[in-house]
Structure 1
């Protein structure tokens, strides 16, 4: 008789149509569990947890359910199309996370990947607490209050998190969390152009509309430098449309391909980021892999990889002049830029997906 296949379910907060960092990490784990022989399901609710609580009108509830089932049976639902998921992974579209939705997964390991999915999973009684896991990738106080986030840290489920600063937040709520830093795909991102042969005037940065990314601060710092160094050129990439007032010394690439994404990083001497808060900071690591020297702000996520004067130059959040000063130092001191880029490239190589997956698998099996 064949042993029963291990099952794991990843609860995502919504259907994704474009690349999202937290989803990328969940998908990477899903692929690796599948290759390890697990039965893997990714669950997408139609109704977000925070919104469901606000639906008081029974007719609106009925309308939403009818809309969901119409789209479901018409096969209109799509998600994760931008990521190369293994074909054997099941995508499960449900109206909401509930006992009935998860009734066939009582013996599976259930991974809540966001605060809203943790809140919903906590209310599910058909799944034993021993099979509930809360994968904390950021301090997610944008759809719920900060207090609600801290309350979620006290739910009776095992907590896994990606960064020391997030583990500290969980501990401040009187709970424990296992630290499992993210990995990077060293086959996807590569160093193809030597750091010595890059123009110090070539800058790369991510563009994002999330206010926490503080892209406007990075752009202000670069504007200060442009006044001193007319040769400065910035290549920016991201998911949204570019800003309407983007200066002509910027080049913008929307949702670049793998080849172009690598070319952006490898053409740049310096990668700039000014976030006030990051769960981990995937683009920072990608830039390090690709040989960029890093000038960024000092926040919990970046500090997983960015060590001042060793693997990066750090400046206080919101301090555009300090950020500009650090960028200028890297432009003007080529020897130091090369040293920093090499150190970052060496340091980031400890963050492998193989190590992360083994730690994650051990945690859910313990």
Structure 2
């Protein structure tokens, strides 16, 4: 069949499906259903480089089902509701399905043909044993998929079953997804699967966020699942080896959790396909078995049995403040005896003296294949790497998320990307971040992170006695990225007219502002940047938002008075009137007044200079790196002892001077 014909069939079948759904539900219920799908339709059609996808819509599922029509066994357990018989009849008329029922559901099969259902389970029991279900599947329906449903819960719509099937077969190109579970809704509150909280050592519902970015619309992999709504492909059932003794005699939820655990051991993934939401009366409560606790908590993070191994996963090695921070941390941990590597989609940098090896991969998929077999602490450094690090740590090593920026700030007008960003923040990660503002942002989405501030290299950024400081020069980073809001600096400077000072800029955009009183230094190395800080009368940074705002700290270390805005990440160390002047966002007049104030008052410049030097003293890299190394050592110890991670003993405030 040609691709064009397949798409035509998909569109026609999707339209027919919508029409049949209208007839089935009636106009009012159909409108409710359409509104409920509105958010999901708003994000349809995207697949990110790390594999996260929003492309599996209900319309595509209907078209796919018309062509593929996979065979499905629905195993019904629990005490049935009166509507079960009608639901089974309707489902049998629309889907390629066979029902497996216990004694409690037998009375509801009278309207079905004898070939449509089979009795199983312990006679008289409302809940049957998964071992019996698997035995039946292997003996009678080996090429069929399996769906477990609690017949006492509100029964799902046929469209939702088709979407689960579609996700199980088509979500991931590599076909490693073998099990799928829906999200659950109780009294209007949706829970998108369950996560393992490494800090508590417990399964917890995916956190209900104070702030909703639409993350619940993004499918995500999970390490456990309840029985109700659990979908298993025949491929997975053929390949997951679970001895009967591990299942027999336990609750069905426990049996399903064991099946999921064994699946992950063979790189067969379980996906919470959250666009499909099952209504339930109560949310399942999932406990961690002793085997699961051992699997999730006890981890080797060393190759030689002595040194802690740390792998930082980067998208790139090009010039940026965030990447430089990763390199500095990597060098610092290596100097403290850890076995450190950089894994990236780009080659080793030429602009930074890196003392650790760099492994380069062509794609995230290639990187993941190597990463998931490594015994190490694996560190995500950007939202796209979070999914890869998480997947790469399911069976080996520990996942850590180095959060230099809550990345939703990079996509202010793109709700789809924001949702995908937030979906990657998981309880399985041990988070570490550099500003108290970000700690608060992460708490709003249910993520806990250890606060360890940024640092700077005092051997590079410091006062130079031999360099004379100019009397009327404003230094700024000339960058057009919207977060930096250089436009505010440029507007205020132009507004000063003929009395405007010399404006000295540096960065990679020499054409950003051209004037007879401007000078732009292109791509200066760090020692040259330090000279600029030592030369300028003042440093101005008017960012809308920063994860930390390291240039301000570097300027302080070089004895350069600072004017800045409240950019959130700088709140921990920028104190208006003590070590800098803080002006309002886009308040051009306040910025002009602050520049004039420092130009005309050398005593004020000296006072702010001394305050800045005192502040910078607390952020020397060696002191910060000692705290960072303590964090990774504690993470390693928690894996070795299979105990929940604790921040006890880690200094979560700014480093103090000795």
1:118 aligned to 2:386?
A: yes
Matched, 1:186 2:458: yes
Preserved CA contact (<8 Å) 1:40 1:90: no
| Structure (1 or 2) with the larger CA radius of gyration | 2
Report the counterpart of residue 205 of structure 1 in structure 2.
Answer: 476
Alignment correspondent of 2:447:
175
Structure 2 counterparts to residues 249-260 of structure 1, below 5 A? 249-260=517-528
Runs of 4 or more consecutive aligned structure 1 residues displaced over 6 Å after TM superposition: none
2:420 paired residue among 148, 160, 165? 148
Select 2:437's aligned residue among 162, 165, 173.
Answer: 165
Structure 1's 259 and 159: CA in aligned 2 closer, same or farther, altered over 3 A? closer
**Residue matched to 1:32:** 332
CA distance in 2, matches of 1:127, 1:323: 53
Distance 1:252 1:5, change over 3 A: same
Q: What CA RMSD, in Å, does the superposition of the two structures yield over aligned residues?
A: 2.2
In structure 2, the residue corresponding to 1:323 is in which secondary structure?
A: helix
Is 1:20 aligned with 2:320?
A: yes
Runs (5+) with no aligned partner, structure 2: 1-303, 635-658
CA contact (8 A) 1:200 1:270 kept: no
In 1, are the aligned partners of 2:503 and 2:518 still within 8 Å (CA)? yes
Q: What is the TM-score with the length of structure 2 in the denominator?
A: 0.47
Contact 1:9 1:111 in 2 (8 A): yes
- Summarize deviations over 1:139-198 as a string: whole Å, max 9, x none: 212366333333333341100001111111111112211001011111011201499x63
Three-state SS of the structure 2 residue aligned to 1:182 is coil
Q: Which residue of 1 aligns with 2:359?
A: 91
Deviates more, 1:343-352 or 1:186-195: 186-195
Find the counterpart in structure 1 of residue 370 from structure 2.
Answer: 101
TM-score when normalising by structure 1: 0.83
Residue of structure 2 aligned with 1:339, choices 598, 602, 607: 607
- 3-state SS, counterpart of residue 321 of structure 1: helix
Q: Paired residue for 1:135? A: 402
The alignment of Structure 1 onto Structure 2 pairs a total of residues equal to: 325
CA distance in 1, matches of 2:419, 2:544: 20
Residue 363 (structure 1) aligned to one of 626, 631, 634: 631
Give a deviation string over 1:76-113, Cα, whole Å, max 9, x none: x6332111001x523333421554121441x2000101
Distance in 2 (CA, whole Å) between partners of 1:154 and 1:102 is 19
Could you list the runs of 5+ residues in structure 1 that have no partner in the other structure? 46-76
| Aligned match of 1:328 | 596
Please name the residue that 1:73 is paired with: none
SS in 1 for 2:571: helix
8 Å contact kept, 1:200–1:330? no
Residue 370 of structure 2 aligns to a residue whose secondary structure is coil
Q: Whole-Å Cα distance in 1 between the matches of residues 497 and 472 of structure 2?
A: 10
Which of 542, 548, 554 aligns to 1:286? It is 554
Contact conserved, 1:150 with 1:170, CA < 8 A, in 2?
Answer: no
Find the residue that maps to 2:520 and give its secondary structure.
strand
Q: Secondary structure at the match of 2:530?
A: helix
SS in 2 for 1:217: helix
Measure how far apart 1:342 and its partner are. Answer: 1.3
Contact kept? 2:565, 2:582, Cα under 8 Å: yes
Aligned to 2:539: 271
**Secondary structure of residue in 1 paired with 2:407:** coil
**SS of alignment partner, residue 475 of structure 2:** strand
Q: 2:452 and 2:525 mapped to 1: Cα distance?
A: 28
